A and B are shown apart, each in its own frame.
Chain A
Amino acid sequence: MGGAEANQLKGKAQGTSGPLSHIAMNPISFIGKEVIKFSFHLGRMVKLLWEILKAVPDFRTYSKPLAKQMLVIGNRSLTIIFFISILAGMTVSVQTAYNLKSYAPLYFLGSTMEKTIFLEFGPLLAAFILVGKVGATIAAELGTMRVTEQIDALESLAFNPVSYLILPRVVAGMIMVPVLTIFADAVGITAGWLTSIAKTNVTTRQFFYGFKSVYQTFDLSFGLIKAVFFGLTITFVSCYEGYYARQGAEGVGRAATSQWLSPLSSY
């Protein structure tokens, strides 16, 4: 860290400023450092994942916080998912109608709606909201607990912090993202259906004919499987960042806005 900063400063002093200058100066050492950093994080993540698995039988420790975390996730995201799903449903409907015009029968509206919402929009919206509303909170929460020694205190009370803090958050994510996905699916399709019959000549019967003609259980279940993995990765990475936060309030901020969370949120 210090070395990289010093390098950058030196680069500035010599007029070769810019964050990439030290890479150009010594690419091999840069790549080496990045590889070491990456393997360090990867190793620690695998270890944490393993500890979460080992904590599964410790039901007595995590049952209560699990219920609490599920409520927290639901409370935080339900309203916003409701509105965004309406928007998504309406947009898909209007855009599809525009594109289909005079090329294909309008009942295709229902078909498009089924595929886009079940396969993509539902899980994606739920995951998006989870990153924005819950991910950063988890990282900040656990980071604060780490730097104010609350995690140490938990251990001194003979608790396994992985069972009490991390497992409930990760499992709550894995349960709640699919639940929110179903909610987003339902709201999105209802909004799409209402928009379709209001804005185009399609009838309810035609809309659902198109819907059913392409419907496969796979669409819904694949969307839900996706949702489970979104829930797992988002909460896990957030927990990881917070749990290993260091160096006071600054470390908490860094955990909450970490580089790991931003690429996820742009997915």
Chain B
Amino acid sequence: MWGGLQPVSGYRLYHHTDLRLFLGLYPFGVLVLIELMGLVKSFGELQVLGGVDLSISEGKTVAIIGESGCGKSVLLKIIIGLLKPDSGSVLLDGQDITKIKYKELVEIRKRFGMVFQGSALFDSLTVDENVGLGLRRHTRISEEEIRKKIGWCLSHVGLEGVEDKYPAQLSGGMKKRVAFARAIAMDPQFLLYDEPNTGLDPITPPEGYTNLLIT
């Protein structure tokens, strides 16, 4: 089922050369940003991923479809380094993020935004604090700017005036949309979106992201 998802896998050879780093480009003008190679992941006896190859190019939206329990969420967690694959690699800018130090991994995660399947909002924080958590920690922009940004992110998903509510006061779809707002708050280069359909209203991601949508 992963077979159809390797648009440029024929150029795998280039990953092992420095040429790619000089040019940053593949032949035919496709810039591959994330490349998964032979990912294998098992939980005990259960093999969830059996050698996944996938290339994600700049500005492309890739959707991965599969039956329930086939390992889509696991794949996303491996891409962002929350789970370690048993073998295989996740290449980002030619760097294998499954093998780098924790500090570097944290830096790389700043380029990602992830919407979890179950939203995973922090239930001790308000919507405002949830969306602004990354901004307040990782940037030095003023509180006023941060509030503006939070407002922008929330209005993007059609939510207004919920800043001071706690996640428990929101509906499931609203939670999912707040989670989306949280994921785009830091202007990530990549957006990983687990089950985009459960947000009820279709949400259009802002322009210019490399998206990885998971259904």
- Interface of A toward B, CB cutoff 8 Å: 60-61, 141, 144-145, 148-150, 152-160
Known: A152-B77, A152-B82. A157 touches B134 (CB 8 A): yes
Query: CA separation between A156 and B182, bound complex, in Å?
Result: 11
Q: Do A152 and B116 touch across chains, with their CB atoms under 8 A apart?
A: yes
Chain B residue numbers with a CB within 8 Å of A160 are: 102, 106
Chain A residue numbers with a CB within 8 Å of B20 are: none
What is the interface of chain B mostly: helix, strand, loop, or mixed? mixed
Query: CA separation between A141 and B124, bound complex, in Å?
Result: 9
Shortest beta-carbon distance, B69 to chain A, in Å? 16
From B50-58, B107-115, B150-158, the one touching the partner chain is B107-115
How many A-B contacts if CB must be within 8 Å?
55
Contact of B120 among A60, A61, A141, A152 (CB under 8 A): A152
**Residue on B with the closest CB to A160?**
B106
Query: CA separation between A144 and B116, bound complex, in Å?
Result: 16
Q: Do B118 and A149 touch across chains, with their CB atoms under 8 A apart?
A: yes
Chain A residue numbers with a CB within 8 Å of B109 are: 155-158
Q: Do B110 and A149 touch across chains, with their CB atoms under 8 A apart?
A: no
Report if B121 contacts A (CB, 8 A). Answer: yes
**Residue on A with the closest CB to B81?**
A155
Q: Do A157 and B133 touch across chains, with their CB atoms under 8 A apart?
A: yes
Q: Do B114 and A159 touch across chains, with their CB atoms under 8 A apart?
A: no
Chain B residue numbers with a CB within 8 Å of A144 are: 123
Chain A residue numbers with a CB within 8 Å of B137 are: 60-61, 157, 159
Q: Do A156 and B121 touch across chains, with their CB atoms under 8 A apart?
A: no
Interface centre among A60, A150, A155, A157 (most CB of B within 10 A): A157
